Amino acid sequence: MTRPAHQPHDPGDQPVPTDGGPGQSPTDGEAVPSPAPHATATAPPDDLIYEHGPGRRVYYTAHQRRVDITALGRLALALPAFLMSSLVVLLMSAVLDGCLGLPLWLPAVLWLASGALVFHRPTEDLLARYLLRLRRPTPQEAARLEPVWREVTALAGVDAAPYQLWIEESEDLNAYAAAGHIVGVTRFALEQLPSAQLAAVLAHELGHHTGGHAWSSLLSHWYGLPGRAVWRLLRATARHIVTPARCAVYLTIGALLLAIGGLGHTATAVLYGLPLLLLLPYVSAALGRRAELRADRHAAALGFAPKLAEVLETMHAHEIRARQTALAVMGERVERESTPTRLLSTHPDFPTRLHHLRHYL
């Protein structure tokens, strides 16, 4: 349910993708701040009906995961970046072959196989701790979070054991689904949301995992990293080379840049056609919005539509209040988002999500 940052389509500045939390803005990637970010003396009510408590039989579905149309679409749109990265890896393989005598195919094979690390637990731990800045729940937090998570997964017929629960030290209402097994919530959400609303948020995140949104997003990001890294290196080098004596370096950088850019352009034009090349950022954002609506539908199908609607209505009210505060402090009205900005948003706005939940209420 989060709204990850969607910057202009710069291949060098993209965050590690996650899917999650109800509290982020559609375009800026920052969670909507809570109105009173101070801890309360009393715990939120435990209003969730536990139909699958200890000793109750749980029936698991035959297929714990699937790949829905949005996950497939995200992988398809990542093909041009994957081809550019493949060229970079092959060039590096040729250099290593000449310098160290390594087989030409070895780096490429290792790079392709590295995608399996998305589901590797120690790698996921590093991703959660050092990139997503999450931490393990304390015993008190686990005592509240784990029963809610087990109830959500039991209702979905999904085994809860493979997933790992994490906490973000934040005063915003948010949650995350990342990699193959990461499910994170903010400390504010854990401390302030009643159990039924917390379950609705977790059911949304489970929908990202079972629909393949989390791992497909991370794989798309991972296999595009070499191309983006070279792009950033060339751009940084071009900014610092200003002397005429280094014209040869200019020409080399320009030739390599044209080669990589030409490959990406040709691959995209062949795979999708030239019109879609210009629309690629908008299509990618549209797939992100569709994935969020599908995760909402997953939570609603488990019976959490009313509670999820309550969370979204609360966040919408906080968003409106933040705009009013900005108006009072800055003395000027916050401009409405332009149409291109809305089309580049990876999340639908709150009214749109509430409209789609209406059928389940």
Secondary structure (DSSP) of 75-92 = HHHTHHHHHHHHHHHHHH
At 229-242, the pLDDT tens digits run: 887 887 777 666 55
Indicate the pLDDT class of residue 335, thresholds 50, 70 and 90: low
Region 282-287: what's the mean pLDDT? 86
- Please state, in angstroms and as integers, the Cα–Cα distance from residue 305 to each residue in 2, 20, 311, following that order: 18, 16, 10
pLDDT in tens, 130-169: 999 999 999 999 999 999 999 999 999 999 999 999 999 9
Q: What is the pLDDT of residues 177-215, one digit of tens each?
A: 998 899 999 999 999 999 999 999 999 999 999 999 999
pTM of the model as a whole: 0.78
Per the listing, tokens 């969730």 go with 48
- Could you identify the residue written with the tokens 């792009």? 231
Q: For 3-37, what is each residue's pLDDT tens digit?
A: 333 333 343 444 567 776 665 433 333 344 444 44
Task: Supply the pLDDT for residue 25.
Answer: 36
H-type helices in 241-304, by residue range? 247-272, 274-299
125-139, 215-229, 232-246, 298-312: least confidently modelled range: 232-246
Residue 276 confidence (pLDDT) above 60: no
- 69-112 per-position pLDDT tens digit: 999 999 988 888 888 888 888 888 887 776 776 777 788 888 88
Helix axis angle, 213-223 to 225-240, nearest 10°: 40
Which of 117-121, 230-234, 241-245 reaches the highest mean pLDDT? 117-121
154: CB partners within 8 A, 6+ apart: 51, 52, 58, 160
pLDDT digits over 40-65, tens only? 447 788 888 888 877 788 888 888 88
Torsion of CA 138, 147, 299, 281, to 10 degrees: 20
Predicted pLDDT of residue 152: 96
Calpha distance 122→191 (Å, rounded) = 28
Residue appearing with tokens 């109750």? 56
Mean pLDDT of all residues in 244-271: 63
Task: Please check whether residue 180 is in contact with residue 124, taking contact to mean a CB–CB distance below 8 angstroms.
Answer: yes
Token pair belonging to 36: 């009173």
pLDDT of residue 272: 56
- Asked if pLDDT for residue 343 goes beyond 50, the answer is yes
Percent of the chain with pLDDT over 90: 35
